[in-house]
A and B are shown apart, each in its own frame.
Chain A
């Protein structure tokens, strides 16, 4: 090889080495030193981070029926710079979104690069907007909260806004219901479409569900009657609170005016959102005499039969004349309560003394929140005895100068109905996870024993007299013994600083059945326009609600003789012959067993009940055998044993053993 050739080869080799070193160096620079930055840039190009929305937990009633639930929804946004003709787009969107066109136009001509037009659209609206195919509009997934029963228990449930629960349970339990949103990096293709979830940075935790103590059916029954009364009396507000005294469970909380939580912003006034049963204290009036009576009986200040002179309906205390609604002379303490005598009650209050009365008022839970777990709960107004005037004790004895919430009042009456034990009102029964498994249960919580069971029993009997013979007459529920007290309270007129003559708060608080209460209920009308007395306005509403609720709860009336039904077996062998499908021979003389074969259970019971016969039934369907036989005499303690089989069955194969037990 010549020298020149060798030189050229060397130069080429050197150049190659330099080039190789250069490339290697550049690679090292990019791959080692700039790695993180470039990797991030690349990731931005082929992937993006998205928020994974957590499903909000449902709210269900005590039977598991949904009261609030979530469904996937979408929120509409605009990128104003990409919108073609804002005037046209606003005009097309306005009727779909039910938003004024000028507001949409203002949003679409905004200088911002991204703006929400409407959050959480129902699926139908979203589909209609999508059909417009307008550039510059887009959707992002956001769950939509729905309340399938509309106004039912609206103030209890509250509602959810863009940033979570805003009122009621939705607000108080927001942390539990909301869950935790997640985050994920998703790959996208050249068109920007999401391809596959590459990396979940944080898994979304669905919200937990909440089971309330509210019963949807009882709530409906209460709302139906309250709504009718609210309209009829043209009241400012009306409410009913139904509680189970043994557990403190709130079964219904019906309030008017109300709103539809699916469209909460359409409510005529924000007042409709408020849960007045916990936020609004009121002067209870005569219903508060029950608290006085409990304290006086427990302290032995007075006994039910002690006689009190009612001063012919007029008493002057601290230069103030207090009147009764009627001129009463001598009354027993039971009659004082029965007739709601102010004078009699004041005298008992004065005998009790302010310290002892105050002690019982606080023991019954007045002057402190009940702890039901709703936001904005009022403690009511109960001043310290040191700040009482000379008139305070007598007026507090008749439920003035003290303010209570409806829930406090129901809880206090619940204590009387529950043998003297005050229960904490319970609105949330349990919390459950996304799979429906119960993860936390809230047991009934006794607060304290306020009065002895004996005092509670005595007072219950006195309150039953109030309904049977006194002012609470209209609260009677046929077949059940009701105990309760009416209340007619005036409101302070801010102008005159005196009690107004106009109707203020008309109420009835009671429990039923009086001997073994299953329900305690408050009914209240606030400033009704055409009613004057709690006894005439509120007590009938109590009756109208309690009747169907007791039937729904299968509480037997006191005068009912239960029919004994034996189930689980039938006759052995075969029932020979055809089954006659006939109407019951009710023409049979009384005291004689009719021929019931072929009749339905309903027909058989209709025929036997007037005869005062105890009935035992085996099986289902139509009567195929009966004992005694048709035409036999029925004695005083006669038992009619009927064997039924499914309709149309001509021959029935029965199980062996139980037949003897059931039919013999």
Chain B
């Protein structure tokens, strides 16, 4: 009587290669899918951040706008006059106001005219 023998299958190298390739492809696909999902999650996360920053910018702009309005309100001539009167300031009398004519040295005005006269005199001296 023959001893019962176990069925032995030879490993087919082609099948093994195919299996390996399929696994690799699957891994790539799963990896890609996870990557896409991850990116999407990141995108949503960044979108929330962007939203927060945008809201912050809007708040800051609003604050700047309000401060500008407050400044304009504080500079209102009516308020300035009332405040000036509270501080005891009065409108100056006619003799308290002096008119000044300003000359800037180096360009025009008395000083420059004098300098030019001196320079002209020097020129004449040189020419003689």
A residues touching B (Cβ–Cβ < 8 Å)? 65-66, 69-72, 123, 146, 148-150, 152, 187, 189, 194-196, 216-217, 220, 224, 478-479, 548, 551, 556-557, 560-569, 605, 609, 616, 618, 658, 661-662, 664
- What are 5 pairs between A and B in contact, CB < 8 Å? A216-B77, A560-B98, A566-B103, A605-B98, A618-B105
B89 on the interface (CB 8 Å rule)? no
Apart from A66-B69, A189-B44, what are 11 other A-B pairs with CB-CB below 8 Å?
A65-B72, A148-B73, A152-B78, A220-B78, A548-B91, A560-B98, A562-B99, A562-B101, A569-B111, A658-B106, A661-B115
Candidates A71, A224, A560, A566; contact of B62 at CB < 8 Å: A71
Task: State how many angstroms separate the Cβ of A339 from the closest Cβ of chain B.
Answer: 30
CA distance A149 to B106 in the complex (A): 43
Contact present for B101 and A564 (CB under 8 Å): yes
Contact present for A662 and B111 (CB under 8 Å): yes
Chain B residues with Cβ below 8 Å from A563 are 98-101
Contact present for A66 and B50 (CB under 8 Å): no
Chain B residues with Cβ below 8 Å from A478 are 94
Contact present for A661 and B111 (CB under 8 Å): yes
Contact present for B47 and A72 (CB under 8 Å): no
Give residues of chain B (83-120) contacting chain A, Cβ–Cβ below 8 Å: 91, 94, 97-106, 109-112, 114-115
Give residues of chain B (31-63) contacting chain A, Cβ–Cβ below 8 Å: 44, 47-48, 50-51, 58, 61-62
Chain A residues with Cβ below 8 Å from B81 are 220, 224
Candidates B47, B62, B98, B102; contact of A195 at CB < 8 Å: B47
Q: Which of A148, A478, A556 has the most CB of B within 10 A?
A: A148
Contact present for B51 and A194 (CB under 8 Å): yes
Contact present for B99 and A560 (CB under 8 Å): yes
Secondary structure at the A interface, as helix, strand, loop or mixed, is mixed
CA distance A661 to B51 in the complex (A): 64
Chain A residues with Cβ below 8 Å from B47 are 187, 195-196
Q: A563-B98, A569-B111 in contact; A152/B65 too (CB < 8 A)?
A: no
The 3 nearest A-B residue pairs measured at CB? A661-B111, A220-B77, A148-B72
Contact present for A609 and B98 (CB under 8 Å): yes
In the complex, which residue of chain B has the Cβ closest to the Cβ of A556? B99
In the complex, which residue of chain B has the Cβ closest to the Cβ of A217? B77
Contact present for A567 and B50 (CB under 8 Å): no
In the complex, which residue of chain A has the Cβ closest to the Cβ of B44? A195
Task: State how many angstroms separate the Cβ of B51 from the closest Cβ of chain A.
Answer: 6
Contact present for B102 and A565 (CB under 8 Å): yes
CA distance A217 to B81 in the complex (A): 11
Task: State how many angstroms separate the Cβ of B119 from the closest Cβ of chain A.
Answer: 11
CA distance A478 to B66 in the complex (A): 43
Q: A479-B94, A609-B98 in contact; A566/B110 too (CB < 8 A)?
A: yes
Q: A217-B77, A566-B110, A662-B111 in contact; A148/B105 too (CB < 8 A)?
A: no
In the complex, which residue of chain A has the Cβ closest to the Cβ of B65? A71
Task: State how many angstroms separate the Cβ of B22 from the closest Cβ of chain A.
Answer: 20
Contact present for A69 and B100 (CB under 8 Å): no
Chain B residues with Cβ below 8 Å from A216 are 77
Chain A residues with Cβ below 8 Å from B65 are 69-72
Contact present for A152 and B77 (CB under 8 Å): yes
Contact present for B102 and A567 (CB under 8 Å): yes
CA distance A109 to B94 in the complex (A): 68
Candidates A194, A196, A568, A664; contact of B106 at CB < 8 Å: A568
Chain B residues with Cβ below 8 Å from A609 are 98
Chain A residues with Cβ below 8 Å from B94 are 478-479, 557
Contact present for B101 and A565 (CB under 8 Å): yes
Chain A residues with Cβ below 8 Å from B50 are 196
Contact present for B48 and A195 (CB under 8 Å): yes
In the complex, which residue of chain B has the Cβ closest to the Cβ of A551? B97
Contact present for A567 and B77 (CB under 8 Å): no
Q: A564-B110, A661-B111, A661-B112 in contact; A69/B68 too (CB < 8 A)?
A: yes
Chain A residues with Cβ below 8 Å from B111 are 566, 569, 658, 661-662
Task: State how many angstroms separate the Cβ of A602 from the closest Cβ of chain B.
Answer: 9
Chain A residues with Cβ below 8 Å from B66 are 71, 123
Task: State how many angstroms separate the Cβ of B68 from the closest Cβ of chain A.
Answer: 7
Q: A148-B73, A562-B99 in contact; A196/B51 too (CB < 8 A)?
A: yes
Q: A551-B97, A564-B110, A658-B106 in contact; A65/B75 too (CB < 8 A)?
A: yes
B18 on the interface (CB 8 Å rule)? no
